[in-house]
């Protein structure tokens, strides 16, 4: 089935959910679960594999999307580690970096959506 | 007694004394001064001897001259030493040294020297140039004032910043909490200092917070911790508390200064946002699944309709717009583009045959219409000619969200069948007429 705006909306919801989960770890609202930072378990990562790739396979934007997602997850894990070591402020300040990756992901999704 | 002692040159001795002495007659006429005085007063001796003090060293203002005159008067009257208050007595700078006056401060004492009959014989003035000391004292006073101002500023900031501030001794005992903290906990300072503040920590947080604080006190690592603190109204609020050690020149910790902020709302917002986002993700996933299911069903039905060996179309809305037409139906009107158009507009010939009225009625009442071998006159090609066509069909209303949405048409063309029957009937009728008695 070709991709619709509905599919991309799903992807955006999933990426906001990741930011929200990470933020809640860095504010001590939730414990960090290892699955939060695994590409295989990340909802957006799963979406890329199961929804996006079958339709748009080898496009460079898809590879870039995977790459930026990996950077975002790795950075998120670093921030969670900092938080666990008691560097609360530093960990939260790092959310800026996450926002940067998230903006990149949004713009890649938008380009893919326009091309779909 | 050795003879050399009698030959002391007292004037030379006097002039060589390492201090500023000036000898005057009781009327202030200058009789002699020491070399030190000459040097300090910046005036050659020969210019001052025989002149009064006031002529030789003119005052910069009347007031200072009066102070000196009053001191002289005291000595003359009481025959006792008199120390003048510290005075500013600027001395004339010789023209060759630039001229003008040099600002100087003096501490002068006038001593009476009495004659054999107890009469005042001389007034000896001992003057110490205290300009340097005075300037140092002035600078110290200024520094003191600046320090006091700086301390007041600091205290003002500590007491009025919209954050909690506390300090602790190197051993970890807290020794100050700012008024904002005290207002929050509703406790006096005496109930907070030392380790008492920890009594207002939430039971689940207390051990962790104290461990962290002891660790920082032991290692000097910055202290950063979040915990629930009991507010004066009995509510626990989340607090972010941080502290940094202050070290002396040897690197030893001399004190800790800590700050804390109420992050309760912030934390609650993060939690609410997370819950909202999780709910949204679930809903969105459900909607997506339903969409996919509906889309799959729609495709299935569309395929069924497209392949069905019957004429099927869907007319949407009260004006009967063609929304879907299967190939069998389209074959009726191969020259007309039906989808998107109203029936009355694209097949105008049916209006006069009552078909639109029929559709309107089905749409409005919801009563299915069954047509049985119903005749219609349709233009079935681009010839402009209307041909009789017979159909078995149903007009069936469909509803969406409880309201009429359109009509589904399901039809078989029976023109050939009707014609064959009509022919047969005609033949029968003819046969009966031709051979009535066979």
CATH code, domain with B398: 3.30.450.20
Nearest to B89 by CA among B152, B37, B137, B32: B37
Kindly tell me the number of DSSP H helices and DSSP E strands found in chain B: 12, 18
Q: Which residues of B sit within 8 Å Cβ distance of A? A: 212, 224-226, 240, 242, 263, 266-267, 270-271, 273-274, 277-278, 280-281, 284-285, 288, 291-292, 295
Residue B286 within any structural domain of the chain: no
pLDDT of residue B3: 52
Domains held by chain B: number: 3
**End-of-domain residue from the set B107, B129, B151:** B129
Chain B residues closer than 8 Å to A82 by CB:
none
| CB atoms closer than 10 angstroms to residue B226 | 20
Claim to verify: residue B227 and residue B311 sit in the same structural domain: no
Q: Rounded to an integer, what distance in angstroms lies between the CA atom of residue B319 and that of residue B321?
A: 6
A62 versus B7: which is more confidently predicted?
A62
**pTM for the predicted model, two decimal places:** 0.61
Nearest CA in chain B to A30: B271
Cβ burial, residue B314 (10 Å; 0-12/13-18/19+): buried
B308 contacts: CB under 8 Å, gap ≥ 6: B326, B328
Indicate if the pLDDT at residue B5 is higher than 70: no
- Would the pLDDT of B188 be above 80? yes
Q: How confident is the model at residue A2 (pLDDT cuts 50, 70, 90)?
A: confident
Question: Above 70 in pLDDT, residue A44?
Answer: yes
List the single residue in B226, B278, B291 with the smallest CB-CB distance to A28: B226
| CA distances (Å), origin B105, targets B70, B109, B284, B363 | 18, 13, 88, 115
Which helix (H) or strand (E) covers residue B249, if one does? none
For residue B418, count other CB atoms closer than 10 A to its CB: 18
Domain-ending residue, one of B242, B267, B292:
B267
CB distance A54 to A78 below 8 Å: no
**Three-state secondary structure call for residue B164:** strand
Q: How many CB pairs under 8 A join A and B?
A: 56
Indicate whether B220 belongs to any domain.
yes
| Section A92-111 average pLDDT | 95
CA gap B339, B329 in Å, rounded = 11
**Bridge partners (DSSP) listed for residue B107:** B128
The CA distance from B432 to B438, in Å, is 9
Domain A5-115 fold:
1.20.120
User: What is chain B's mean pLDDT, rounded?
Assistant: 91
Q: Is residue B437 part of a domain?
A: no
What residues make up the domain containing B371? Answer: 304-430
pLDDT tens, residue by residue, B333-385: 999 999 999 999 999 999 999 999 999 999 999 999 999 999 999 998 888 89
B90 lies in the same domain as B177: no
Say if B244 falls within a structural domain.
yes
State what percent of residues in chain B have pLDDT above 70.
97
Better pLDDT: B175 or A3: B175
Across residues B81-109, what is the average pLDDT? Answer: 84
pLDDT of B435 reads 58
Q: Is the pLDDT of residue B432 over 80?
A: no
List the alpha helices (DSSP H) in B347-414. 355-365
Instruction: Average the pLDDT over B164-191 and give the result.
Output: 95
**Is residue B291 a part of any domain in this protein?**
no
Residue B282 in any domain: the answer is no
B418, B315: one domain: yes
Q: Is B283 inside a domain boundary?
A: no
**A13 and B240: CB-CB below 8 Å?**
no
Is pLDDT larger for residue B431 or for residue B312? B312
Angstrom distances, CA of residue B22 to CA of B26, B57, B112, B123: 12, 12, 12, 8
Percent of chain B with pLDDT over 90: 76
Q: Which of B246, B267, B288 is the last residue of a domain?
A: B267
Measured CA to CA, the distance from residue A112 to residue A9 in angstroms comes to 12
Look up the ipTM and state it.
0.86
Q: Which residues in chain A (35-74) have CB-CB distances under 8 A to chain B?
A: 43
pLDDT of residue A39: 92
| pLDDT over threshold 70, residue B434 | no
For residue B170, report the phi and psi dihedrals to the nearest 5 degrees. Answer: -55, -25
pLDDT of B438 above 50: no
Residues B125 and B17 in one domain: yes
- Check whether residue B14 and residue B81 sit in a common domain: yes
Q: Is the pLDDT of residue B60 over 80?
A: no
What letter does residue B84 receive in the DSSP assignment? P
- The pLDDT assigned to B93 comes to 80
CA distances (Å), B195 to each of B206, B230, B274, in order? 12, 15, 36
């Amino acid at each position: 089935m070709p991709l619709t705006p509905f599919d991309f909306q799903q992807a955006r919801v999933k990426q906001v959910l990741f930011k929200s989960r990470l933020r809640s770890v860095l504010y001590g609202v939730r414990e960090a679960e290892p699955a939060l930072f695994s590409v295989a378990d990340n909802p957006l990562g799963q979406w890329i594999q199961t929804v996006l790739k079958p339709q748009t396979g080898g496009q460079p934007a898809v590879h870039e999307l995977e790459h930026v997602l990996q950077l975002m997850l790795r950075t998120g894990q670093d921030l969670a580690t900092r938080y666990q070591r008691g560097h609360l402020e530093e960990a939260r300040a790092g959310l800026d970096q996450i926002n940067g990756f998230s903006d990149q992901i949004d713009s890649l999704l938008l380009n893919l959506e326009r091309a779909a | 007694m050795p003879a050399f002692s009698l030959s002391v040159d007292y004037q030379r001795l006097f002039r060589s004394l390492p201090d500023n002495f000036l000898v005057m007659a009781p009327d202030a006429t200058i009789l002699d001064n020491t070399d030190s005085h000459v040097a300090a007063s910046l005036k050659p001796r020969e210019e001052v001897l025989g002149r009064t003090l006031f002529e030789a060293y003119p005052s910069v203002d009347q007031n200072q001259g009066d102070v000196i005159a009053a001191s002289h008067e005291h000595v003359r009257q009481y025959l006792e030493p008199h120390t003048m208050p510290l005075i500013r007595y600027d001395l004339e700078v010789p023209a060759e040294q630039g001229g003008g006056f040099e600002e100087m401060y003096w501490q002068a004492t006038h001593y009476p020297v009495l004659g054999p009959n107890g009469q005042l014989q001389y007034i000896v003035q001992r003057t110490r140039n205290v300009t340097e000391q005075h300037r140092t004292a002035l600078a110290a006073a200024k520094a003191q004032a600046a320090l006091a101002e700086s301390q007041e500023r600091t205290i003002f900031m500590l007491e009025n910043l919209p954050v909690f501030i506390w300090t602790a001794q190197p051993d970890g005992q807290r020794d100050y909490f700012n008024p904002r903290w005290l207002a929050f906990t509703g406790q006096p300072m005496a109930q907070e200092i030392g380790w008492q503040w920890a009594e207002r920590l939430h039971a689940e947080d207390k051990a962790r917070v104290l461990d962290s604080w002891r660790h920082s006190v032991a290692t000097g690592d910055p202290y950063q911790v979040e915990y629930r603190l009991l507010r004066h109204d009995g509510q626990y609020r989340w607090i972010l508390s941080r502290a940094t050690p202050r070290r002396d020149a040897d690197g030893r910790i001399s004190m800790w200064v800590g700050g804390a902020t109420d992050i309760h709302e912030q934390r609650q917002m993060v939690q609410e946002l997370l819950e909202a986002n999780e709910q949204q993700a679930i809903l969105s996933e459900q909607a997506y699944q339903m969409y996919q299911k509906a889309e799959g069903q729609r495709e299935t039905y569309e395929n069924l309709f497209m392949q069905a060996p019957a004429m099927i179309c869907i007319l949407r809305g009260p004006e009967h717009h063609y929304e879907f037409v299967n190939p069998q139906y389209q074959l009726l009107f191969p020259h007309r583009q039906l989808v998107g158009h109203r029936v009355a507009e694209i097949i105008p010939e049916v209006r006069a045959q009552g078909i639109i009225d029929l559709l309107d009625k089905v749409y409005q009442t919801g009563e299915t219409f069954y047509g049985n071998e119903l005749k219609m006159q349709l233009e079935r090609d681009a010839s402009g000619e209307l041909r009789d066509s017979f159909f078995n069909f149903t007009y069936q209303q469909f509803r969406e969200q409880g309201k009429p949405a359109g009509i589904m048409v399901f039809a078989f063309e029976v023109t050939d069948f009707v014609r064959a029957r009509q022919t047969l009937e005609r033949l029968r009728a003819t046969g009966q007429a031709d051979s009535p008695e066979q």
